[in-house]
Each structure stands twice: as structure tokens, then as C-alpha cells.
Amino acid sequence: MAQLFANNIGIWHSFGYNFDDPNGNISELSTPALEHVDSMPPFVTEWQAQDIANNDFGGYYQNNMQSITMLIYENANNIYLSTNNVTNMANVHANADTLIQTCQNFLLHTAKLSGVIEYDGTDNISPYLNQALSFGRTAMYIVNQTDGITNNAPIMGSFSSLLIEPQLISNNNTLITYTSQVAGSISGNTSNLTSQQMTTINNHMKNMYEFMEYRKNSDRDFYTNLRLFIEGYNKTKKLNNLGETEKYLLMNFIGTNKTKERIS
């Protein structure tokens, strides 16, 4: 295959090769070797080549829930600040504080889901983009065969928190109204809102943070079950397609009755 991209892309130059080969050990590939190399399909597209050459690997992903989560955070924070030291709004103040913390946790969770924060190799509780996609793809093929599942839920089950923006926008629009209502009701260290009005505001904030927390925890639970499924699948997979000697060992020496029943 002829060179696909212009020389100015410069992947080779980015390696920093500077050996002048004084003893003639670097040689041109033979004709058969070149024919083999030329027969290979393209390994990279032009944009990949450019990004690799420029070491430009950031900015591929965005957290689609960041904007609405921050708007909710700002409104909750405004209520929290407005009700500080307001004697008859302690519950509103506390619920606003919980909603603030929930937004922070939800933002971190969705940043992991969306690929903005990459897997660090130690967190096996939170779903991260690449791990959840990989496990989900495997599960999708298997549960299609075992359960007749024909949708993409085996993959998307770890990503539900990325799919609720319309619901959060609607809830935030109501929260905006309550934010103004609370701020306008305070005189000194008291509010003139009725108990019923405060209860309505409290319930709304409570419903919001419980909904966000529920979706976050549901993603985590689904991902945990998915990960455990993959681990179990891999444990059974190694007993399929056994070599002759391995099967001989299992059937005659190291295999339990359970194993022998399954591989015989």
C-alpha cells in the first residue's frame, strides 16, 4: 500500500530517530516483506495520524450532564445561602445542602461515565466509559443468546445517568421558581412562607436529590453485576475448547465430578 498521508503529518519524525547507522545494519525491506506490508489495511485514519503526531489526545469527550447539574447546583446553593441563619427554614437549608452534595457526586459520576475522567486502575465500583462499554458489549452478545434480548440495554444499563437531562431540566425550572420565592420571603432571620410552601419546596429538593442519587446508584449496581457476570463467564469459558492434554488431566486427575459432567 502506498503512503496514505502527507509527510507533514510526521508520525515517524515524532519518534526522534537519530541513529546514523555507521555499520549498515538498517536495511530496506525485501520485496516479499514490502508486499506483505503493502497488503495490510490502513491502521489509522488521517485524523488519527495527526493527533498521534501532535500528541493531541484530549478533548474527545464531554460530560453532557455537566451544564444542567451545575445549574441545579447553583440554584441549590442560592437557597442554601439565602436560608443560612433563617430560624424557620432549617429544613429547607438542610435539603439545599444535601442537593448541593448530590450534584457534586453526580457530576463526578457522570464525568467517569462520559470518559472525561479515565479509569485509574483502582476504582472497581464506579462505571467508567471504556470498561462499561467493553463489559456491556460482551453481555449483549451473550444475553441475546440466553434471554433473547434484542436492545442495547446491556450496554446502556451502566449509563442511565447520562440519559435524564430532560427530567433534570424540568425539575430545575421548578427549582428556579422556588429559589426566587425563598429569597423574596426572607426578612431578617425569618421567612414569611407558610409551612405548606416550605414543605412543597423541601419535597421538591428531596425528590431531586433522591432521583439523581438513585440513578447514580443504579448505574453502579448494574455495572457491578455486569462485572461479576464477566468474571463468572470467564471462569466457565476456560472449560470450553479444552486441549486434549488439559481435558485428560481434568477427567482423570484434577477435575471434580461437577467438572467431568460439564466437559464430558
How do residues 157-213 score in pLDDT, each as one tens digit? 999 999 999 999 999 999 999 999 999 999 999 999 999 999 999 999 999 999 999
Per residue in 65-80, pLDDT (tens digit) is 999 999 999 999 999 9
Q: Using one digit for the tens of pLDDT, what is the confidence trace for 116-153?
A: 999 999 998 999 999 999 999 999 999 999 999 999 99
End-to-end CA distance of the chain: 49
Contact 69, 25 (CB under 8 A): no
> What span, in angstroms and rounded, lies between the C-alpha atoms of 103 and 146?
38
Kindly list the distances between the CA atom of residue 167 and the CA atoms of 203, 212, 258, in Å, as whole numbers in the listed order.
Answer: 16, 10, 50
C-alpha 128/C-alpha 110 separation (Å) is: 9
User: What pLDDT sits at residue 125?
Assistant: 94
Residue 53: how many other CB atoms lie within 10 Å:
16
Helix (H, G, I), strand (E, B) or coil at 121: coil
What is the Cα–Cα distance from 96 to 76, expressed in whole angstroms?
5
Instruction: Report the length, in residues, of the chain.
Output: 264
Question: 229 with 237: CB under 8 angstroms?
Answer: no
Name every residue whose Cβ is closer than 8 Å to that of residue 195 and which is 6 or more positions away in sequence: none
CA 127, CA 154: separation in Å to the nearest integer?
13
